[in-house]
Amino acid sequence: MHAVIKTGGKQYRVAEGDVLNVETLQAEPGATVAFDVLAVGDGADLKVGSPLVDGAKVEAEVLDQIRGDKIIVFKKKRRQNYRRTRGHRQNLTVVRVTGITGA
């Protein structure tokens, strides 16, 4: 069974046992979190919510709080002697999907 969840302004297609890096969730490692379900089903029997599927739930276990890879943000305006370089590392939460319940 698969589900489409929404968290951190992004959508993810997940199945039971998947490990995801999502934007930071305020939860300690070992805690259980639940996500909003936009669609749930398997193959032809797909239920799509408007916007959420009533009674459907995706539960996940928080594995770790990490920081993502560094990206370089470079700004330049030509002929103006303007250059700025910044780095950024996004805070992420690693979660493992433990259960999908569809209504």
% of residues, the chain, pLDDT over 70: 99
**Domain boundaries of the chain, sorted by first residue:** 2-101
pLDDT of residue 9: 93
pLDDT, tens digit, 9 for 90 and up, residues 19-47:
999 999 999 999 999 998 999 998 788 89
Token pair recorded at residue 65: 């709080």
Distance between CA atoms of 68 and 82, rounded to whole angstroms? Answer: 28
pLDDT, tens digit, 9 for 90 and up, residues 72-89:
999 999 999 999 999 999
Distance between CA atoms of 32 and 59, rounded to whole angstroms? Answer: 7
Distance between CA atoms of 60 and 57, rounded to whole angstroms? Answer: 10
